[in-house]
Amino acid sequence: MINTGITALESYVPEQIVTNEDLSHIVDTNDEWISSRTGIKRRHLSTGENTSQFCINTGKKLLDKTGTNAEDIDLIIVATITPDYATPSVSCQVQKALGCTNAFAFDISAACSGFVYSLSIADKYIRSGLYQKVLVFGAETLSKIVNWTDRNTCVLFGDGGGGALLEPVEKGGIVAEDLHARGDDEALTGRHHVVENMVCTHIEKGYPYLIMDGRAIFNFATKVVPKSVNKILEKTGFTLDDIKYIVPHQANSRIIDIVARKLKTDIDKFYINVEEYGNTSAASIPIALSEMSEKGLLKKGDRIIITGFGAGLTWGSMLIEW
């Protein structure tokens, strides 16, 4: 049987760091409010690099690190809600820049669950036996769609990207998944594209930024994430004692605290880096995994659960064995 393994992890975030104190000069906020409510201290913001650049830089590092020839990549998937263009896709831009001439490529849109969804898709291609090397990225330039005069949202988000090389492995790899969507909830929307043409009589006003009902998203996340993690445990027969780390989407440390409490497990089991990057949507899980790999935290045989939640609404978890 073919399993899908994550054989390398990398990330790239823009250099420019913006602190809570910096934000207090553009909106009515302060470090105490942001830190105590979200755990966020800093975020990296793009000074011009777009989403494709985060993936290209990450992809170069992945190919170099693993000694993989660009022509041997079969598929490129990018999870993002902030592509450079409506078309071409970010994944096609990455294909061109990296020289992955034999790869097919597409983007997926599942907001903060995007990386988990993308790993799930890549897993099916690899398990089929038809494709061997897949690059999966989660990358966002959320600063493009944040209203920098709205203190309710602008303090929460950041820019960056991360990615993984996926290949067939004999043991371990992606063991189980639990994916969901609930399209009837609009507590979080971003950049509404309205219809405007010469036959359109219904004039609707678009809004180019993120709009969020923070409380509703908070309640949604703290409800569905523990359920989804438990579903993974139920499916696999493991308990939380068998899991080395839970790597959640990094939206807010208070959400993670409540999830830990509901799962009756120690907060130390959770990898948290929201303090440094803010919420980077689809990029947050691969950035966290890449950091963990860099720090030597992911050892052979370790089992981890990644869990994403966000706009759509979408959510999902996955158990991966190293």
Residue among 92, 112, 154, 252 flagged as catalytic: 112
Q: Which of 155, 229, 260, 292 binds ligand ACO (CB under 6 A)?
A: 155
Q: Which of 50, 53, 281, 290 binds ligand ACO (CB under 6 A)?
A: 281
Q: What is the nearest approach in angstroms of ligand ACO to the Cβ of residue 312?
A: 9
Residues 285-314 touching ligand ACO, rule: CB under 6 A, are 310-311
What is the number of helices (H) and of strands (E) in the chain?
Answer: 10, 13
Q: Which of 2, 7, 33, 297 binds ligand ACO (CB under 6 A)?
A: 33
Q: Phi/psi class of residue 172: alpha, beta or left (left: φ > 0; alpha: ψ in -120 to 50)? A: left
Q: Which of 110/136 has CB closer to ligand ACO?
A: 110
4 touches ligand ACO by CB under 6 A: no
Contacts of 125 (CB under 8 A, 6+ apart): 74, 75, 131, 134
**CA distance linking residue 238 with residue 245, whole number of Å:** 13
List C-alpha distances in Å: 165 to 52, 74, 114, 251.
17, 11, 16, 25
Annotated active-site residue 279? The verdict is yes
Q: Which of 129/148 has CB closer to ligand ACO?
A: 148
Q: Which of 172/278 has CB closer to ligand ACO?
A: 278
Residue among 20, 55, 92, 249 flagged as catalytic: 249
Q: Which of 168/214 has CB closer to ligand ACO?
A: 214
Annotated active-site residue 55? The verdict is no
Q: Which two tokens stand for residue 263?
A: 């799962």
215 touches ligand ACO by CB under 6 A: yes
**CA distance linking residue 167 with residue 148, whole number of Å:** 41
Determine whether 36 is exposed, middle or buried from the number of CB atoms within 10 Å of its CB (0-12, 13-18, 19+): exposed
Q: Which two tokens stand for residue 231?
A: 């579903």
Q: Which of 231/254 has CB closer to ligand ACO?
A: 254
Q: Are 46 and 105 in contact (CB under 8 A)?
A: no
Q: DSSP 3-state assignment of 276?
A: helix
Annotated active-site residue 249? The verdict is yes
Q: Which of 73, 98, 164, 251 binds ligand ACO (CB under 6 A)?
A: 251
H or E segment and range at residue 232: helix 214-236
Tell me the Cα Rg of the chain.
19
136 touches ligand ACO by CB under 6 A: no
| Interacting residues toward ligand ACO by CB under 6 A | 29, 33-34, 37-38, 111-112, 151-152, 155, 188, 212, 214-215, 217-218, 251-252, 279, 281, 310-311
Task: Supply the residues annotated as catalytic.
Answer: 112, 249, 279
